Amino acid sequence: MTSSTDLNKLLDREYQAGFVTDIESDTVPPGLNEDTIRLISAKKKEPSFMLEWRLKAYAYWLTLKEPDWARLNIAPIDYQKIIYYSAPKTKKALNSLDELDPELLKTYEKLGIPLREQERLNGIAIDAVFDSVSVATTFKEKLASKGIIFCAFSEAVREHPELIKKYLGTVVPYTDNFFAALNAAVFTDGSFCYIPKGVCCPMELSTYFRINAVATGQFERTLIIAEEDSVVSYLEGCTAPMRDENQLHAAVVELIAHHRARIKYSTVQNWYPGDKEGKGGIYNFVTKRGLCAGVGSKISWTQVETGSAITWKYPSVILQGDYSVGEFYSVALTNHYQQADTGTKMIHIGSHTKSTILAKGISAGHGQNNYRGLVDIKRKAKHAQNYTQCDSLLLGNHCGAHTFPYIEVKNQSAKIEHEATTGKISEDQLFYCRQRGINAEDAISMIVNGFCKQVFKELPMEFAVEAQKLLAVSLEGSIG
């Protein structure tokens, strides 16, 4: 058996994106009160309805208690020590990338995020968010010609208030949970996307988030609306620099799919995981929910998580329209001292609804991976179907994998199947590969990729490649 030193060597990859950008920021002092919120709203030049909504949310947040973290080990968060707004100082609105602060551009290039030429080659429209502010959005004209709106959330609030008013908070109201309320009060930016009837969005829409300034919480709000018969694929990727103190990320994503519309939302998340001792790293609390409002609508969540000190997110789908479909494909890797509490909720309301959940967890080092899923078949949900598979792979003997599904069925015509397995890479498989000349590192990488294959298949091509690379790097040396 390979010695654990080899394993450990492989597990110790250096976090690639851990650099800091030297840039002047426009920052509001730390602390949260009504004035902070008014300040944020003013800086964003929001119409009054938006400020009112924020203040209502804030008042509600004050009545709430932080949720109880089952199985997560976290230090308390001091909400008054967080900076709620930090924008890189740009003098005026940008018309083209050439006007973008070169430092910012360099940052994105270092991250391998192509804001310039590359994106023209790949045909991906990119909206870059840097410390709470959307910095540039490419391809606006091409999309605009089809009636597609893809812009910064703050811009949408100003330019398309009627759409915001109609949909904001309809899928995740500020009363939903503690972090949803906080986000509603202090969100600074995010992405807005609207696909009109019958339009198939010609390119993948992408957003990159980055948390840069010290002690900044990042509170994005994303809203995607797909009208009847429209199709859109959206990619969200995230990175953060190395810091000593933990940083907070509390985002809200709302998706609405009308009749026969299809929304695919993919995330490859590579937040800073904390150093080997578990210091630093990102707290990642996200509320993501899709509403399949229309008949035959479909929402797919696909995610690959390989970072963040603490992850807590449950992308969910409300299957309201008859014949609507919800999908959740996830690979979560925890290493060093990372903890993840993730999973999904599929709420079946309409009839003939279908949901598929495929969750793969890989635990290495001292990582702890929790899957928490809910399949809820309501009384009136006739002929609902669900298939769930949760598989956990343990690499090494200091990590843990925990599965907590909840299946609640109130309609007898439902058909529900759930399976879960936990184990390690078998010695036999490893020996077989090595006997064929594939060294242990590569063998593990190959087997783990095979383990994740069903999920990677669902990712858009660019993400699939990135995800596989990320996984390979994260896993070097993980033999049990």
Partner 1 sequence: MNLLTPNLDSAFKKRASHISALSPALQKAQSDAFSHFHTLSFPSNKLDHWKYTDLPQQSLPMFTPPIAIEPNVPFQQLQSLLMDPHSLTLVLFSNEVAVKTPDQPWFSANPTSPDWKFDPLRHSSLDALNMAFSGNEFHIRIPDHSITEAPIYIYHITESFQDPVLINPRHHITVGKNAQATLIEVYLSVGQSPSFTNTVTDITLAENACLTHLFLQKGSPQSLQIAKIHIDQDKHSQYVGNSIMLGGSVNRAAFHINLNESFATCQFSALQMAKETQRLDLDFCVQHYKPNCDSKIISRSVIQGNGKSAFTGKIAVQKNATKTTAQLENKNLLLSATAEANTRPQLEIDNDDVQCTHGATVGHLDPDALFYLISRGIKTEDARQLLIQAFIYPSLQTLPTVSLPYLENLIHEY
Partner 2 sequence: MTRPNTILEIKDLHVGINDKPILQGLDLKLEKGKVHALMGPNGSGKSTLANLLARKEDYVVTSGHIQYLGEDLLTLSPEEAAWKGVFLSFQYPVSIPGVTNIQFLKSALNATLKAQGKPVLDAMDFLKIVKDKMAALEMPEALLYRFVNDGFSGGEKKRNEILQMSLLEPTLAILDETDSGLDIDALKAVATGINALRNENRAILLITHYQRLLSYIEPDFVHVLSNGKIIKSGDKSLALELEEKGYAWL
Count of residues in contact with partner 1, rule CB under 8 A: 35
231 binds, among partner 2, partner 1, none (CB under 5 to 8 A by kind): none
Among 132-140, 267-275, 411-419, 462-470, which window interacts with partner 1 (CB under 8 A)?
Answer: 411-419
Contact by Cβ (8 Å): 267, 303: yes
Name the minimum Å distance from CB 444 to partner 2.
Answer: 11
Regarding 419 and contact with partner 1 (CB under 8 A), the answer is yes
Which of residues 113, 156, 226, 409 is near partner 1 by CB under 8 A? 409
414 contact, one of partner 2, partner 1, none, CB 5-8 Å limit per kind: partner 1
State the burial class of residue 408 (Cβ atoms within 10 Å of its Cβ: 0-12, 13-18, 19+): exposed
Asked if 405 touches partner 1 (CB under 8 A), the answer is yes
166 binds partner 1 (CB under 8 A): no
Segment near partner 1 (CB under 8 A); pick from 220-228, 287-295, 325-333, 420-428:
420-428
Helix residue ranges, H only, 276-338: none
Distance CA(302)–CA(252), nearest Å, equals 16
- Check binding of 342 to partner 1 (CB under 8 A): no
Q: Is 399 in the site for partner 1 (CB under 8 A)?
A: yes
Q: Is position 33 an interface residue for partner 1 (rule: CB under 8 A)?
A: no
294 sits near partner 1 (criterion: CB under 8 A): no
Structure-token pair, residue 216: 């900044």
- In degrees rounded to 5, what are phi and psi of residue 71? 70, 0
Q: Residues of 102-112 as b/e, b for ≥16 C-beta within 10 angstroms?
A: eebbebbeebe
- Rounded Cα distance between 341 and 102, Å, is 38
Minimum distance of partner 2 from residue 440's CB (angstroms): 7
User: Is residue 67 within the footprint of partner 1 (CB under 8 A)?
Assistant: no
Q: Pick from partner 2, partner 1, none: which does 415 bind, CB < 5 to 8 A by kind? A: partner 1
d(CA 444, CA 6): 12
| Binding of partner 1 by 415 (CB under 8 A) | yes
* Residue 129 main-chain phi, psi, to 5 deg: -110, 125
Does residue 395 belong to the site contacting partner 1 (CB under 8 A)? yes
Residue in 317, 394, 430, 452 binding partner 1, rule: CB under 8 A: 394
Residue among 3 and 96 whose Cβ is closer to partner 1 = 3
| Residue 66 contacts partner 1 per CB under 8 A | no
The tokens of 274 are what? 């904390």
CA–CA distances in Å: residue 315 to residues 162, 242, 346: 26, 27, 9
Q: Quote the radius of gyration of the chain (alpha carbons, Å).
A: 22
49 binds, among partner 2, partner 1, none (CB under 5 to 8 A by kind): none
To the nearest whole angstrom, how small is the minimum distance from the Cβ of residue 442 to partner 2? 7
Question: Any contact of residue 295 with partner 1 (CB under 8 A)?
Answer: no
Q: Under 8 Å CB-to-CB from 102, ≥6 apart: which residues?
A: none
For residue 351, state whether it binds partner 1 (rule: CB under 8 A): no
Select the residue interacting with partner 1 from 416, 446, 472, 473 (CB under 8 A): 416
Using rule CB under 8 A, residue 423 touches partner 1: yes
Residue 480: contacted member of partner 1, partner 2, none (CB under 5 to 8 Å, by partner type):
partner 1
Give the nearer residue to partner 2 in terms of CB position, either 252 or 359: 359
Residue 404 lies near partner 1 (rule: CB under 8 A): yes
The residue within the footprint of partner 1, chosen from 418, 449, 454, 472 (CB under 8 A), is 418
Which residues, in sequence order, are CB contacts of 361 under 8 Å at separation 6+?
Answer: 331, 332, 333, 334, 340, 369, 371, 390, 391, 392, 393, 401
H or E, element range at 126? strand 125-130
Return the residue of 16, 20, 417, 457 that touches partner 1, per CB under 8 A.
417
Under rule CB under 8 A, residue 402 binds partner 1: yes
Residue 263: closest CA among 304, 235, 303, 221:
235
Q: Binding of partner 1 at residue 378 (CB under 8 A)? A: no
Q: Measured between alpha carbons, how far is residue 337 from residues 67, 207, 299, 340 in Å?
A: 21, 28, 32, 10
H/E run at residue 26 = strand 25-27
| Spatial CA neighbour of 127 closest among 207, 204, 205, 68 | 207
- Give the nearer residue to partner 2 in terms of CB position, either 235 or 357: 357
Strand ranges, E, within 131-220 = 133-137, 149-152, 191-195, 205-210
Site for partner 2, rule CB under 8 A: 1, 426, 428-429, 431-440, 442, 446-447, 449-454
Our CB check for partner 1 shows the closer of 326 and 396 to be: 396
Binding site for partner 1 (CB under 8 A): 377, 379, 392, 394-424, 480
